[in-house]
Amino acid sequence: DDCSGDEQILIATEALEQLEYWKMSPHRELVSSGAEAYCLAEPGRQYMVYAPGGGNVKLDLSGASGTFRVRWLDPRKGGYSHETEVHGGSVQTLQAPSGEDWVAFVLRK
């Protein structure tokens, strides 16, 4: 059996446990980037942003209030970047740790 990708399935499963993903839906209009970027969100509460090429991604939190914690997941190896904070009420720039693919988890505190 070819088991390639099994590790990434485990990484994804563990990452999704921190979200109430069933409340989220696609919101590509909330993200912009020099390259591709995708967003699943429950606006105002939880956001998952995928940046296939890393870099900077703008996340529109203008309709949200409060403080959000941000952690970047390395989908290749697992593990997270250090936690930072952003605030609702404006568009925020999220910077991926490298030029590879990363997933940002932006959760209201």
**Cβ contacts of 63 within 8 Å, gap of 6 or more:** 43, 44, 88
Residue 4, pLDDT score: 58
- Each residue's pLDDT tens digit, 55-92: 999 999 999 999 999 999 998 888 898 899 999 999 99
pLDDT, average across residues 30-49: 92
The average pLDDT across 38-58 equals: 95
Neighbours of 79 (CB within 10 A): 10
Torsion sign over Cα 94, 97, 100, 105: negative
Residue 1's pLDDT is what? 57
**82 Cβ neighbours under 8 A, 6+ residues apart:** 71
Of 105 and 7, more confident:
105
pLDDT band at 5 (very low <50, low <70, confident <90, very high): low
